[in-house]
Amino acid sequence: RSSAEKFEFQAEVSRLMDILINSLYSNKDIFLRELISNASDALDKIRFLSLTDKEILGEGDNTKLEILIKLDKEKKILSIRDRGIGMMKEDLIKNLGTIAKSGTSAFVEKMQTGGDLNLIGQFGVGFYSVYLVADYVEVISKHNDDKQYVWESKADGAFAISEDVWNEPLGRGTEIRLHLRDEAQEYLDEFKLKELVKKYSEFINFPIQLWASKEVDVEVPADEEESGEEEEPTESSSSEDEETEEEDGEKKPKTKKIKETTYEWEVLNDMKAVWLRNPKEVTDEEYTKFYQSLAKDFSDEKPLAWSHFTAEGDVEFKAVLFVPPKAPHDLYESYYNTEKSNLKLYVRRVFISDEFDELLPKYLNFLKGLVDSDTLPLNVSREMLQQHSSLKTIKKKLIRKALDMIRKIAEEDPDESSDRDNKDVEKTDENDEKKGQYTKFWNEFGKSIKLGIVEDATNRNRLAKLLRFESTKSDGKLTSLDQYISRMKSGQKDIFYITGTSKEQLEKSPFLERLTKKNYEVIYFTDPVDEYLMQYLMDYEDKKFQNVSKEGLKLGKDSKIKSLKESFKELTNWWKDNLASENVDSVKISDRLDKTPCVVVTSKYGWSANMERIMQSQTL
């Protein structure tokens, strides 16, 4: 097309497309759900805008918020169109080629190290999956504020955009035309498409319709149709037949029914809103599929847990929360830079936003889910909604439910029970499935719980219950504060812990000698975030925390210590005078050691040696 303007793909996007084009990945089906998901996003956007501006939907077919799929077997084209918001020329240039998202290079990297292509949607580059099945793609789009344009590319490093003077006007929305590769002709099969929509896009909230063929009976004149096809009895030999017909009281029919193929729109999904249903009637499989479509996580793993509930009272809402099986690639990378929450907000079943940070605190941003409120107003601006008073109540309830859900993962995990070595624990399929789930949770999201302890004073105790760590007595397994307390020696007042870079390093620490000898349990904290954590976690169940490398360690009474202090007074004074006094606060006789003659201890309010190390590594 001579009038076309040409553009080059941004370098990372180009690399991504090369990978997709040459991929030997067998599950090419995923392109369909990515396109449907984009269509659904575009419909959500126009519906949201229409809440405050009815005109925006236009009239006639334009008001139908739907997704339409057509197959052209002759031209080998699969097309998907939506009546969503559409794209202006600028949008086409930016969204489909020139601006790489943060996920683009992350995904390219993942692909080069054998990552799962199935997760493309999570990286925000789902559109390009069209090149798994097509070698030429056209995107025709019409936005209310611009003319209709065609974007096209053969994935050869460049794309072109032209004003559309060839196709029928879309009214509003986007049509994606895939010119299927020879080896992808299976996607011209209606059954295949119906199956795929069922499998991946069942929970899309707009009707997905296929221009489907249908065999219908049509009546045609009997004579016309039959002549020549069947041998008809001749007049002369038909006398007997006529007689029998008369006996039955039947006349020879004048018309005949034959099969003919016609086309009509067939709705492929039933748009059931899972969250509106009674939780008792939703199966585990349905929750899993709902999670997948919500989180764009189509890995084979089930979510670790979910909670589906209705809140009643002043503020009414329904919600479904999920703990994903795995942390996303950038969970802690983006933690400090963004306020991103992963809950979708609906008001009276209308999608409002998936970037509504007022619903959950930052440390819970690993959760996926949905909130649908009847209390929030529908036709106000987003800014007004963000200030609505009931959001505080919603947030409070969501946090409670989220923490309950996480606590339950632990409660139902047979590995977590204090007598986990008890062989009598009933062996059932369900126990099997829940086994080890909390460790899995902890390994993926433990850091979020720790950040929660730092950030959320109100729920600090609830979060502390969820904490797991290794200790001198945990035997290589994870243990909890409650389990620690249940093992405390009689007379032990404090919870002992030590911080450092690794368990192996800490095991050799002289600070542990005496404690271990006296059979006290000491917690190992080896994550850099633990140092911050312990500045906020002062006590638990009325027990104070004591860093064993810091001043203040008390281990029962030792009667000898007083006389020892007396007899070594001269030596300790000498030490103190001879060490530069800005380096050392005091020199004391102590009962904290066993074999090592002396150690350097940090003062109660000072940074531990480990914290010094962390601070140094951050400033260097």
Q: Which run of H or E residues covers position 223?
A: helix 222-226
Decide whether 126 or 446 has the Cβ nearer to Mg ion: 126
Number of residues lying near ligand ADP (CB under 6 A): 16
34 binds ligand ADP (CB under 6 A): yes
Pick the closest to residue 343 from 333, 328, 358, 329 (CA basis): 358
Restricted to residues 55-114, the positions that interact with ligand ADP (CB under 6 A) are 82, 84-85, 87, 95-96
Pick the closest to residue 479 from 525, 533, 518 (CA basis): 525
Pairing of strands 5-8, 173-180: unpaired
Tell me the window of 32-40, 190-198, 232-240, 476-484 that interacts with ligand ADP (CB under 6 A): 32-40
Report the residue count for the chain.
620
125 binds, among ligand ADP, Mg ion, none (CB under 5 to 8 A by kind): ligand ADP
Contacts 24+ apart (CB under 8 A), 17-24: 17/128, 17/131, 17/155, 18/155, 19/108, 19/111, 19/112, 20/117, 20/128, 20/129, 20/131, 20/132, 20/155, 21/131, 21/135, 21/155, 23/117, 23/132
Q: How far apart are CA 344 and CA 409, in angstroms?
A: 23
97 binds, among Mg ion, ligand ADP, none (CB under 5 to 8 A by kind): none
Residue 280: CB partners within 8 Å, gap ≥ 6? none
Taking the complex as a whole, the smallest distance from the CB of residue 68 to Mg ion amounts, in Å, to: 18
CB 241 within 8 A of CB 233: yes
Q: Which residues on neighbouring strands pair with residue 79, listed in sequence order?
A: 70, 177
Tell me the window of 36-44, 261-269, 541-549, 601-609 that interacts with ligand ADP (CB under 6 A): 36-44
Count of Cβ atoms closer than 10 Å to residue 508 Cβ: 9
SS3 of residue 311 by DSSP = strand
Taking the complex as a whole, the smallest distance from the CB of residue 130 to ligand ADP amounts, in Å, to: 10
Tell me the window of 4-12, 37-45, 160-168, 494-502 that interacts with ligand ADP (CB under 6 A): 37-45
82 binds, among ligand ADP, Mg ion, none (CB under 5 to 8 A by kind): ligand ADP
Identify the residue among 16, 17, 28, 38 touching ligand ADP (CB under 6 A): 38
Identify the residue among 9, 29, 33, 38 touching Mg ion (CB under 5 A): 38
446 binds, among ligand ADP, Mg ion, none (CB under 5 to 8 A by kind): none
Decide whether 129 or 483 has the Cβ nearer to ligand ADP: 129
Tell me the window of 4-12, 119-127, 515-523, 578-586 that interacts with ligand ADP (CB under 6 A): 119-127
Count of Cβ atoms closer than 10 Å to residue 246 Cβ: 10
Taking the complex as a whole, the smallest distance from the CB of residue 39 to ligand ADP amounts, in Å, to: 5
Q: How far apart are CA 295 and CA 321, in angstroms?
A: 11
150 binds, among Mg ion, ligand ADP, none (CB under 5 to 8 A by kind): none
Decide whether 131 or 540 has the Cβ nearer to ligand ADP: 131
Tell me the window of 21-29, 122-130, 347-355, 581-589 that interacts with ligand ADP (CB under 6 A): 122-130
Decide whether 41 or 286 has the Cβ nearer to ligand ADP: 41
Decide whether 126 or 500 has the Cβ nearer to Mg ion: 126
Identify the residue among 127, 131, 298, 322 touching ligand ADP (CB under 6 A): 127
Identify the residue among 124, 207, 279, 510 touching ligand ADP (CB under 6 A): 124
Decide whether 365 or 479 has the Cβ nearer to ligand ADP: 365
Q: How far apart are CA 521 and CA 485, in angstroms?
A: 10
Classify residue 161 as exposed, middle or buried by CB count within 10 Å of its CB (0-12, 13-18, 19+).
Answer: buried
Restricted to residues 147-186, the positions that interact with ligand ADP (CB under 6 A) are 174
Restricted to residues 511-550, the positions that interact with ligand ADP (CB under 6 A) are none
Q: Which residues on neighbouring strands pair with residue 317, listed in sequence order?
A: 311, 373
Restricted to residues 434-463, the positions that interact with ligand ADP (CB under 6 A) are none
Q: How far apart are CA 320 and CA 308, in angstroms?
A: 4
126 binds Mg ion (CB under 5 A): yes
Q: How far apart are CA 374 and CA 386, in angstroms?
A: 15
Taking the complex as a whole, the smallest distance from the CB of residue 91 to ligand ADP amounts, in Å, to: 6
In degrees, rounded to 5, the angle at the alpha carbon of residue 163 between the alpha carbons of residues 157 and 165 is 120
Taking the complex as a whole, the smallest distance from the CB of residue 273 to ligand ADP amounts, in Å, to: 21
Pick the closest to residue 219 from 254, 255, 252 (CA basis): 255
CA 467 to chain centre: 23
Tell me the window of 9-17, 32-40, 336-344, 448-456 that interacts with Mg ion (CB under 5 A): 32-40
Q: Which residues bind ligand ADP (CB under 6 A)?
A: 34, 38-39, 41-42, 82, 84-85, 87, 95-96, 124-127, 174
Site of interaction with Mg ion (CB under 5 A)? 38, 126
